[in-house]
Amino acid sequence: MKVKIKYKDILAKGLFADEFIPKNNIVLYLEGNYLPHPTRTSIQIKDDKHIESWEGGHINHHCDPNTEIKIHDDFIGKNSHAQMEPSLVALVVAKRDIDIGEEFTFDYEITEFDLAEPFRCDCHGRWIRGKVYRYQE
């Protein structure tokens, strides 16, 4: 899929669709470095595993997002004896049809246990801190 990082306003960048993307299609395979802790731009894919992806780090939060993060087990060959070891594959998938030029968003409180940098949501002004805090307000 074609995606484009661009400024959404004077201060902030986002990830935008460069072509029409039908519902349930893969928008992006998340690739990058894996960390045991969250950063401002990482995406949590397991309890103690966060991926720092260049494109993924530009997907902004929305409470009614147009994409979701899906994690799948994949198997890779470990050595020449064809032993297989599980590996996680992180995908950004369209929750609905996405038009050309539309910004990609996902709900951070679905994937992130505890955000590295909490913030007030533009959707409704509530603090977004992670799913462990979601219903504490």
Residue written as token pair 């929750």: 95
One-character DSSP codes across 31-74: -SEEESS--SS-EEEETTEEEE-TTGGGPEE-SS-SEEEEEEEE
Structural domain that includes position 101: 3-128
In whole angstroms, give the CA distance from residue 11 to residue 51: 24
- Residue 117: HSE in the Cβ half-sphere, 13 Å Cα cutoff: 6
Total structural domains in the chain? 1
Residue 78: predicted pLDDT: 53
Instruction: Determine the distance from the C-alpha atom of residue 65 to the mean position of all C-alpha atoms in its chain, rounded to a whole number.
Output: 11
Q: What is the pLDDT along the chain (137 residues), one digit of tens a residue?
A: 689 999 988 888 999 999 999 999 999 999 999 999 999 999 999 989 999 999 999 999 999 999 999 998 775 555 555 555 557 889 999 999 999 999 999 999 999 999 999 999 988 888 999 988 766 65
Are 71 and 44 in contact by the 8 Å Cβ rule? The answer is: no
Residue 9: predicted pLDDT: 86
| CATH code for the domain of 121 | 2.170.270.10
Asked whether residue 137 is assigned to any structural domain, the reply reads: no
Asked whether residue 104 is assigned to any structural domain, the reply reads: yes
| This prediction's pTM | 0.86
Asked whether residue 135 is assigned to any structural domain, the reply reads: no
Asked whether residue 85 is assigned to any structural domain, the reply reads: yes
Asked whether residue 63 is assigned to any structural domain, the reply reads: yes
